[in-house]
Amino acid sequence: MKKTLIVQAPAKINIGLWVKNRRQDGFHDLETIFQTISLTDNIILHEGFEPGIRIICDNKNVPTGEDNIAFRAARIFLKKYGIEPALDIKIEKRIPMAAGLAGGSTDAATVLTGLAKLYERTVTPAEFMEMAAFLGSDVPFLIKGGLARGSGRGEKLEFYDMPRNQIIVVVVMPNDVSVSTKWCYDNYTPGNNEIKSRSFEMILEAYQKCDFESLKKVVFNDLESVTLQRYPLIQRIKELLSSTGDGVVLMSGSGPSVFGLFDDKRKALNAVTALRGVPAQIFVERICKK
């Protein structure tokens, strides 16, 4: 009998992003804290009758075929495990695209782990990581999800226990702002690494303890220096979301999405009211494991 599996692919936020120097290969070394959140794409994997891999998505802006990273993930998996491709992948897209939330990367990671279940293959963590690293820098983290510190291009990972308390995450994605990750990194000028190293060490500890007052003082995203200057709307969203004084507010990845962390749903909703009239999509979510 042909099998179907429904899996959820969570978005990530970066609670801090320290961009170090540009490497010989053109990429930058970075340090970041990754956290998965309850904003997810739904992925339906279905063993088909027709040979090949097909992507169906409810968002017409998402590429189908080889340009879709989930397609490439499926192709790598099926080839590695010698499985004849006859697969339909349906993506129900909720994660905004090109937002700094790793929407494509999480689809790819979830296709890899989902296919292992669908075809009942035992895949070691090292094998998952090898396939994931080939697909992109954020994909290895999204295989497991939760909370991790990432370095290198983001593929060197140390996983940690998530904060015990519930944390509400407000994600704001401005309309009609599209930021190219490459443009962002190309325009970034590295700053004083010594100071950043010191404050970066404190981010993880403050976050794990839910010590938001300390976290506010030390958290930073280096790419804001590029993106906020070019897109004043992102700066405005940051100011409005911080205006109640309750949230820890930061841009995620290369943006343009901004998130706020709150220790209470009422405080989160209160901060959201400050965004009334702002041209943006708003999601009220929570931190979660994968």
Q: Which of 38, 64, 151, 181 binds ligand ATP (CB under 6 A)?
A: 181
Distances (CA, A) of 198 to 150, 189, 194, 201, 219: 16, 19, 7, 6, 11
Of 41, 88, 138, 222, catalytic = 138
**d(Cα 276, Cα 23) in Å, to the nearest integer?**
42
**Considering only residues 103, 114, 140, 256, which one is a binding residue for ligand ATP as defined by CB under 6 A?**
103
Site size toward ligand ATP (CB under 6 A) is 20
Pick the closest to residue 144 from 109, 116, 173 (CA basis). Answer: 109
Phi/psi of residue 229, nearest 5 degrees? -65, -40
Residue 25 a catalytic site member: no
Rule CB under 6 A: say whether 104 interacts with ligand ATP: yes
Assess 102 for contact with ligand ATP (CB under 6 A). yes
Interstrand relation of 52-57 and 86-92 (parallel, antiparallel or unpaired): parallel
SS3 175: coil
| 112 near ligand ATP, judged by CB under 6 A | no
Whose Cβ is closer to ligand ATP: residue 102's or residue 240's? Answer: 102
List 253, 280, 283, 288, residue binding ligand ATP (CB under 6 A)? 253
Do strands 4-22 and 280-286 pair parallel, antiparallel, or not at all (unpaired)?
A: unpaired
6 lies in the binding site for ligand ATP (CB under 6 A) = no
Per rule CB under 6 A, is residue 123 in the interface with ligand ATP? no
Beta bridge partners, 147, equal 35, 160
The answer to whether 138 is a known catalytic residue is: yes
Stretch that binds ligand ATP, among 103-111, 121-129, 225-233, 236-244 (CB under 6 A): 103-111
Binding letters toward ligand ATP, positions 60-89, x by CB under 6 A: --xx---xxxx-------------------
Give the list of residues 6+ apart from residue 126 with CB closer than 8 angstroms, or none. Answer: none
Q: Is 56 in the site for ligand ATP (CB under 6 A)?
A: no
Query: Would you say 120 and 86 are in contact if contact means Cβ atoms under 8 Å apart?
Result: no
Q: Provide the binding-site residues for ligand ATP, judged by CB under 6 A.
A: 62-63, 67-70, 91, 97-105, 107, 138, 181, 253
Cite the active site residues: 12, 138
